[in-house]
Structure 1
């Protein structure tokens, strides 16, 4: 990666009359552009580049400027933007379709994973024109990054115009279109070719880029996005994850905000220590290599963005950059209405220990094995049931099934699983970031027995809110004690739920993100 090369700035932009514009795929460099909402505006949000009416003979061609820095040391753009006024509120109802693709854990609400939530009403403030880049389509909500972005879009949508650009190696389906159409002004799929991906990966060992950055970065998709950026002229660009940074890091006409989400390099290093089997040494070497590349990239890409956010203070400490303290904390939230105590609780026939997560994700696979193989044999209470709820279970998870262990696979209603659980047990040893599963369990008034890995990102004292354990015997002892003491379980569940309601609403956290985007756009 080279240093930022400076922005190109068009010095004269003729004002354009308001118009609704239905974009065709050819207008965004071959991407599938779905114009989903048309509203009258005082300035055109998706113009051409150079602007129509720009006279090169009169005004001169665009010139290059050296990048200038702001008070945080970030690069500031030198561009004239056409600021849109806030769009008038319009009724944007949501259809409710059937379940989406069976790809993972049910979303953070008791509805079907293929059903989207109602759009929130406008609140206040001046609207922005925001372009969002996602490396995956944020629906269905079976992965943490998709759940996080979906709720961020849902709470930003009432007050801002959002152009959502998603990398995709397959066409968007009807359920995804229906779920996202009410949240965005325009939805663009940037095709990422499978054959080109594998060709890139063949040479990935010769590149300094992390393997996952190489996997997600496609040259044609990058050109299509740059064409779209020049047409849309956003006030600010919001990029989720460093995996997408190569697409926009050299585009300096617009302020950029990066969501690190987790410290991916630290997570990869932790996973490298747990690789086992015949291929264990090779896996450990590959993961260490990827972890080192990610660490260098997380530090290097920091310079190309005006603002940065991350999910927790713990993860911020793991970003390998001298100015990491300037990274803003924007935690995940939980849908407070979707998760809560059951209105009609059902008494379980035996105590139930629940662990949830996408069971194709290695940290969850490791935690499931740790719970069943290392902790459950030490639990004295019998009978007892362990439920592993989450889709795409690897064979290693399926092999854990027994009369005492239920592996559910995909579940349509994850809230129901919390309602029938006696305890939520998360012995996570790998991964980084704030665990949505812990927020959901606490909000559902399920007492939690957690590893330090699962609990510490919450930033709350453990006493009275959860039992934190570091080894199998302490897990088993805590489980036995809580199963024998209903009053302690009830008190702990109430205390934890109060903390979640106070500190982990999506509304509050997205309001912080909205302020960061506004400051970057100024």
Structure 2
């Protein structure tokens, strides 16, 4: 009989249509083949309730808790005068706590995988189990970046969260057998911040479903026939994405369009904020909102852009575009954690002028059909295979005495 494993995620791991869900879904899919999975998770989007049965199919048992983002935000703000990170209050639920306690008492669970630091609060007493927490990113550093980008009083709130969450991340890392991250660079940052737990800090890369994200299908063209399109894909209620497309549309794209009038900028992603929706008023800019399938938008774009100024971990949008053989132009922040050869497999632009110059040069040199896209897909095939990367999780669980380090 397969061993029992408790898996806790801060958001239902389906559908795999945004960064954290892509990783948590593939983890669930992989774990279900090797363990009897007991899943505890939140649902913070009413539209995701329709996926409950699909997720249950991977599990021995599962608990789904409704999370109202507005109520959770208000609840977390009540802890501002404490020394507790807002993140923990945001994701605390007594019903989920009771369910977890019940599973640990009634089931022969001796393995626990926590997805994101906020969920570690539910298994802080399960010291007899072999526990791994997948931090994915160094969330505390993300809040630090937010603090630097925002004005007071938001900057104060974000700086407070960065400091308190880092202290909590260190506490969890001390108490758990291993902590994992999405990339070697992300793990390296945490080792610098918490050198006392460097020996139990490791990583496994994300992957890409290369059979799904492939350039070899005949996708219908969603763009006007004569358009040369720059495309950005992502969840458009996520502040780093909002900041990225706002900066690109306002500070970069007008100069590109002045030089190449048929160039258009498409922002493709669900739940666009009012700030993003307003960008559609700019010449040549289109905001699609949610689309059924993002692959046609990537396949028929001239280039994919990822001009993020705030980022942590690995940008799946970059890997997906590379898997589809696209030329991709990224900021250094969006490049972090991705192994690829600049100028051969993708292109890096450090500021607005570099984005402008590089995109115009690529378009005018007609390098859109060069071998760069082929090399990009090959890189993904070599280094971003889900099955191969997730075998590291098995290696960690197999090491029940907590002494083996995956490098």
TM-score, structure 2 normalization: 0.90
* CA deviation map 1:37-93 (0-9, x unaligned): xxxxxxxxxxxxxxxxxxxxxxxxxxxxxxxxxxxxxxxxxxxxxxxx2xxxxxxxx
Quickly say closer, same or farther: Cα 1:202–1:441, change in 2 above 3 A: closer
Number of the residue aligned with 1:216: 91
Query: Does 2:227 match 1:350?
Result: yes
The Cα of 1:174 is off from its aligned counterpart by: 5.8
Q: Is the 8 A contact 1:236 1:520 kept in 2?
A: no
Query: Does 2:317 match 1:440?
Result: no
Secondary structure in structure 1 of the residue aligned to 2:292: coil
More helix, by proportion: 2
Number of the residue aligned with 2:198: 324
Quickly say closer, same or farther: Cα 1:218–1:365, change in 2 above 3 A: same
Quickly say closer, same or farther: Cα 1:477–1:325, change in 2 above 3 A: farther
Q: Is the 8 A contact 2:76 2:87 kept in 1?
A: no
Q: How well do the aligned residues superpose, as a CA RMSD in angstroms?
A: 2.3
Number of the residue aligned with 1:486: 366
Query: Does 2:10 match 1:135?
Result: yes
Counterparts of 1:76-475 in structure 2 under 5 Å?
85=1, 127-168=2-43, 175-190=50-65, 197=72, 200-275=75-150, 280-319=151-190, 320-322=193-195, 323-324=197-198, 326-344=200-218, 348-379=225-256, 380-401=259-280, 402-475=282-355
Q: Is the 8 A contact 2:77 2:86 kept in 1?
A: no
Q: Is the 8 A contact 2:220 2:296 kept in 1?
A: no
The Cα of 1:519 is off from its aligned counterpart by: 2.1
Quickly say closer, same or farther: Cα 1:181–1:218, change in 2 above 3 A: closer
Counterparts of 1:442 and 1:489, CA distance in 2: 14
Secondary structure in structure 1 of the residue aligned to 2:109: coil
* CA deviation map 1:112-164 (0-9, x unaligned): xxxxxxxxxxxxxxx43211011111122343212211111112222321111
Quickly say closer, same or farther: Cα 1:341–1:162, change in 2 above 3 A: same
Counterparts of 2:3 and 2:99, CA distance in 1: 22
Quickly say closer, same or farther: Cα 1:316–1:464, change in 2 above 3 A: same
Tell me which structure has the larger Cα radius of gyration.
1
Quickly say closer, same or farther: Cα 1:224–1:297, change in 2 above 3 A: same
The Cα of 1:317 is off from its aligned counterpart by: 2.5
Counterparts of 2:43 and 2:220, CA distance in 1: 42
Counterparts of 1:378 and 1:170, CA distance in 2: 38
Q: Is the 8 A contact 2:330 2:347 kept in 1?
A: yes
The Cα of 1:387 is off from its aligned counterpart by: 0.5
Secondary structure in structure 2 of the residue aligned to 1:221: helix
Question: Whose relative contact order is higher, 1 or 2, with alpha carbons under 8 Å and at least 6 apart?
Answer: 1
Quickly say closer, same or farther: Cα 1:408–1:170, change in 2 above 3 A: closer
Counterparts of 1:194 and 1:400, CA distance in 2: 25
Counterparts of 2:358 and 2:73, CA distance in 1: 48
The Cα of 1:489 is off from its aligned counterpart by: 4.5
Counterparts of 2:325 and 2:246, CA distance in 1: 25
